[in-house]
A and B are shown apart, each in its own frame.
Chain A
Amino acid sequence: MGAISTNNRVGSAILHGRNCVPTLKDVMAFLETLIKIAVYAVMAVTIVAAIGVVTLHNLFHSALALVGVLLGIAGVYLALQADFLAGIQVLIYVGAVMTLVIYAIMLTQRLGDKNIPQTNRQGFAAAIVTLLLLYLLIGTVCRTPWLANPPARHIPASALDLGQALMTTYVFPFEAISVILIAALIGAIVIAKKEREP
């Protein structure tokens, strides 16, 4: 939170009504501070919503809290200047995945109840999976060399860069995921298909 404490004249001018004319540079610094505060606020809301997902007693409310979490993550992507990723995040997760999740909730038997309980008896398995994911994440975080002052460079995050990377460097994982997706689609059709009456 270092940037908030930096002495910028716009902030003091606004806060204390002091008579000093801020320059455009000051304004930019002030706006950056505001953006930083906004990003921290978005992160805080995301975490609160994430806690809500696992603690709210109503399954439907949990799902809506999850929508909040996913939107918050999209906001963080935006702050990191990954516009394309943020757009995709909203389109895929909020627009498609969450809609499917809520649809699945609507198809459950207890829909008529006022409170749909959100717990089941698979806590142990879920804990194991979560711990494995945590291990992976911590491993990745530890292995990444975090630079204190990353050099200003072109970060390939635009749609064009991502597309080129997917079609050249990462073409194999991309194709593998496509094949898995096709397999899942075919599997879903096979499961959903009615058995023909003889």
Chain B
Amino acid sequence: MEYLDQLFVFAKRLMLDLLARFLPDWIVLVASMVISIVAILIFAPLTMMYLTLLERKVVGRIQNRIGPNRVGKFGLLQPIADGIKMLTKEDIVPFQADPVLHFLAPVIIVMPALLIFAVIPFGRGMTAVDLNIGILYFIAVSSISTIAIFMASWGSRNKFSLLGGMRTVAQMISYEVPMVLSVVPVILVAETLSTNAIIEAQSAGWFVWTPWGLAGFLIFFLCAVAECNRSPFDIPEAESEIVAGFHTEYSGIKFALFYMAEFISVFAVSALAVTLFLGGWKGPWLPSWLWFLLKAYALIGVMFWFRGTLPRFRVDQLMGLAWKFLLPLALINIFVVGFWYFSPGLWKWVGSLGILGPSFWIFTKLNRSYVPENRVYRLAEDENNETVGA
């Protein structure tokens, strides 16, 4: 049991021990870094490849189809076929495009997605770098991807790309605010920014089982879905309106890199949500890394479920949700966690629920869109000067 739990840690230690037999210390030191980096560089693209297959399967089942099943058993080799297809496709750069930016954008967008993996605690003792500013690092690094999307949209010199880029930025700025604020309660209670220490702080119980934890988790998860530009928040690449948004002018491997960044981010934000609110790798019976992956994939499954069920938001609905609902709720949540921290026993439950419940209800009521019973169409009137549809 103990052996299974620490399988990967032991594997790394074994490799280092073997190296230490006949190589000097400093090579072992470098090797210890290289092993972690290589593990991440293999894990991330592999995750991405099979997430594409999983998504197509799950969405297929939701839509009463079977999904890809031709390449290999159950379509298991489909991602490899896709990869070969992407690599052999012609790389088209538009005549008017800014060649440097058009080339750099897909390269840069993958970097933050991969860098994030450095602080994700995959299991007990399985964090690549245990930074003491782990959460801050995560938020800061993932905010760079906006710049890359901008470079793609401006460098393509295409109006659909540009529209997609502007939508992306509007969305990312809006959703980053409640996302960061929803993390604040966790930091306040755990009294640390390190991802490992936050999991340790949840030994007594996952944060999601507290009123502020539940509210924070829901806010964080919704914002995370929006930050990944996934349905129902996918207006930056709304196919029915602006072709494909910021990556309209990309083909071949560059297009694949945008998809890779998106899917890696999907995994990364799910992993962070698990770390912050769902107790990370903590769980009975199973090895810690298996618990972590199970929880992360459960959240990813919810994202696929969203994609298969919900229609796309309108731009104004999207902005309204972030600024008028999630933001005030996140601010109230910070107040609630303060109350929770300083009140004794039962009082904290009563008080927290007493504050969060009514405020949730009030925000929902205030955000209900106003639909007038008697619609007036100023520009669409029939010949009798009567309003159509009244």
| B interface majority secondary structure | helix
Q: Assess whether B293 is interfacial by the CB under 8 Å rule.
A: no
**Complex contact A87–B136 (CB within 8 A):** yes
Instruction: Give the A-B contact count at a CB cut-off of 8 A.
Output: 83
Task: Scan A148-180; emit 1 where CB is below 8 A from any B CB, else 0.
Answer: 000000000011000000000000000000000
**Complex contact B143–A94 (CB within 8 A):** yes
Which residues of chain B in 319-367 are interfacial with respect to chain A, using CB atoms and an 8 Å cutoff?
Answer: none
Q: Chain B: which residue is nearest A83 at the CB level? A: B133
**Complex contact B132–A111 (CB within 8 A):** no
Q: A83-B133, A99-B173, A106-B162 are in contact. Are A90 and B140 (CB under 8 A)?
A: yes
Which residues of chain B in 138-179 are interfacial with respect to chain A, using CB atoms and an 8 Å cutoff?
Answer: 139-141, 143-144, 146-147, 150-151, 154, 157, 162, 165-166, 169-170, 172-173, 176
* Residue in contact with A98 in the complex, picked from B96, B147, B165, B176, CB distance below 8 Å: B147
* Residue in contact with A22 in the complex, picked from B24, B136, B146, CB distance below 8 Å: B24
Q: Assess whether B26 is interfacial by the CB under 8 Å rule.
A: yes
Q: Assess whether B137 is interfacial by the CB under 8 Å rule.
A: yes
Q: Which residues does chain A contribute within 8 Å of B169, judged by CB atoms? A: 99, 102-103, 106
Q: Which residues does chain A contribute within 8 Å of B147, judged by CB atoms? A: 64, 67, 94, 98-99, 102
Q: Interface residues of B toward A: which range?
A: 20 to 34
Q: Which residues does chain A contribute within 8 Å of B141, judged by CB atoms? A: 90
Q: Which residues does chain B contribute within 8 Å of A23, judged by CB atoms? A: 25
Which residues of chain A in 15-71 are interfacial with respect to chain B, using CB atoms and an 8 Å cutoff?
Answer: 21-24, 26-27, 30, 60, 64, 67
Q: What is the bound-complex CA distance between A60 and B102, given in angstroms?
A: 13
Q: Assess whether B9 is interfacial by the CB under 8 Å rule.
A: no
**Complex contact B136–A95 (CB within 8 A):** no
**Complex contact B136–A99 (CB within 8 A):** no
Q: A27-B25, A99-B172, A102-B169 are in contact. Are A87 and B146 (CB under 8 A)?
A: no
Q: A87-B133, A94-B147, A159-B133 are in contact. Are A22 and B26 (CB under 8 A)?
A: yes
Q: Which residues does chain A contribute within 8 Å of B193, judged by CB atoms? A: 84, 159
* Residue in contact with B162 in the complex, picked from A22, A24, A98, A111, CB distance below 8 Å: A111
* Residue in contact with A106 in the complex, picked from B24, B132, B165, B180, CB distance below 8 Å: B165
Q: Which residues does chain B contribute within 8 Å of A64, judged by CB atoms? A: 101, 147, 151
Q: What is the bound-complex CA distance between A183 and B389, given in angstroms?
A: 45
Q: A88-B140, A91-B139 are in contact. Are A99 and B146 (CB under 8 A)?
A: yes
Q: Assess whether B131 is interfacial by the CB under 8 Å rule.
A: yes
Q: What is the bound-complex CA distance between A22 and B26, given in angstroms?
A: 8
Which 4 A-B pairs rank lowest in CB-CB distance, beginning with the nearest? A95-B143, A27-B26, A90-B140, A87-B136
